[in-house]
Amino acid sequence: MRLCPCCGGPLVRIARRPADRLLSLFRPVNRYQCVVLECGWQGNLARWRLPPGEHITPMNTPSGMSPMTTHTGTG
């Protein structure tokens, strides 16, 4: 699950605007909105493309999103 870069709350994907689709030709992005009503953040975040068998583990940071590390599926 993606986390809000503003408040750290959960995000939901929403429909992209035409400008977002144009941007995705150069850098693939998805559009998200924070579900925390008091926050109301809305914006684009880059799509993650990882090799099969790898997943992203967020570090303990205020945003919950960076820095990121990757781990293979093996123990």
Tens digits of per-residue pLDDT, 4-38?
999 999 999 999 999 999 988 988 899 999 999 99
Identify the band that residue 66 occupies on the pLDDT scale cut at 50, 70 and 90: very low
C-alpha distances out from residue 65 to 21, 22, 74, Å: 23, 25, 23
Beta bridge partners of 71: 55
Residue ranges of domains in the chain = 1-59
Which tokens is 40 given? 């109301």
* H helix intervals, the chain: 18-23
Q: How far apart are CA 60 and CA 32, in angstroms?
A: 21
Average of per-residue pLDDT across 27-50: 88
Q: How far apart are CA 64 and CA 7, in angstroms?
A: 9
Identify the band that residue 2 occupies on the pLDDT scale cut at 50, 70 and 90: confident
